[in-house]
Amino acid sequence: MPNKDTNLTLRVGRSLQERRLDKYLHGRYSNYSRVMLQEVIKAGGVKVNGKKAKPSLKLNPDDLIEITLPELPTNEIPPEDIPLNILHEDDDIIVINKSADIIVHPARGNTHGTIANALAFHLASAEPVEDEDEGEEDEPEIDDANFPIALGEFRPGIVHRLDRNTTGVMILAKNAIAQWKISRQFHDRKVEKSYIAIVHGTPELTRDRINAPLGVNTKFRYKYAVRPETGKEAITFYEVLETFRGFSLLKLTPKTGRTHQIRVHLAHIKHPIVADDMYGGKPVYPWQLKDAELTPEAPVIARCALHAWTISFKHPTTEKIVSFEAPLPDDMQNLLDILRKYRKK
């Protein structure tokens, strides 16, 4: 999920001394650099008297300013030499194919070995990039003391999350401006995502919408459940790509980003994801898929068979739509190969 922003409203006082909007806001919020505030304004994060504004707007007493400021976390993330499967990298973003059994960000009980630790190491090891001076008039110099992009001053690049055992495409930001811009796209539901899952059974409809509000499970606080009366809106579209005896390959397009959304929604329609033991999925074994006699052997896949397949979003600098695709991991590909060989209808 995106990082939390702070929504603020303020009234310009009658003793106004600095009239330019970006300079005025920098005076009020000095922990943000003027460069950062300019980017927030340009991205539509500031309104003056109900209208989007430019950094150079001249303010007047009694003007009403509405501003959405990005979160500035203070917890330092220790760098750790953990390999990242990088699909794309430029000055602003890294797109990775996340592997299974790794969490995204340190949390209680998991303070090391995360994607954030790996990114901190990657950024610290990268060659510095020198920006060319374009000579633009009235562009302020970056105040390093206030600009929150140095390691240890902002949470490295985490703009959205995947569950520990979900693989696939994931965006990481290399600086605070890119992080905020992409986080806003997630918040505004402008990021297009699709997932691949292998599920038990075959849905009655080849494509459909699952519209079922989600909330925390009342019995098990670490789980989520459909909560029609109190849950938050949650919508997932699915399409059946391939069917087998007892199983199906689905493409899923979530329109909301609730925790465990796809997993809970598929369990809700009685087609849980293979090996998702938290939500009713069962492990499958080679002998089982081959209709052979029971044989002691490891399951074909040892984790929830869910993969973040594609993602499309507006690049934070070029503002062009970019799209990326993560190939299936070996364990899911192996399960598909066995299903196609032994379970084809």
Contact 233, 162 (CB under 8 A): no
Tokens representing 12 are 């310009």
Closest by CA to 307, choosing from 196, 198, 170, 164, is: 196
| Residue 253, strand partner residues | 237
Contact 70, 183 (CB under 8 A): yes
One of 22, 163, 276, 331 is an active-site residue; which one? 163
Residue 90 is among the residues annotated as catalytic for this protein: no
- Which contiguous run of DSSP H or E holds residue 330? helix 330-342
Q: Are strands 167-173 and 306-314 parallel, antiparallel or unpaired?
A: parallel
Query: What single letter denotes the amino acid at residue 121?
Result: F
Closest by CA to 90, choosing from 325, 323, 315, is: 315
Q: Kindly report the three-state secondary structure assignment for every residue of 156-205.
A: CCECCCCCCCCEEEEEEECCHHHHHHHHHHHHCCCCEEEEEEEEECCCCC
Catalytic machinery residues: 163
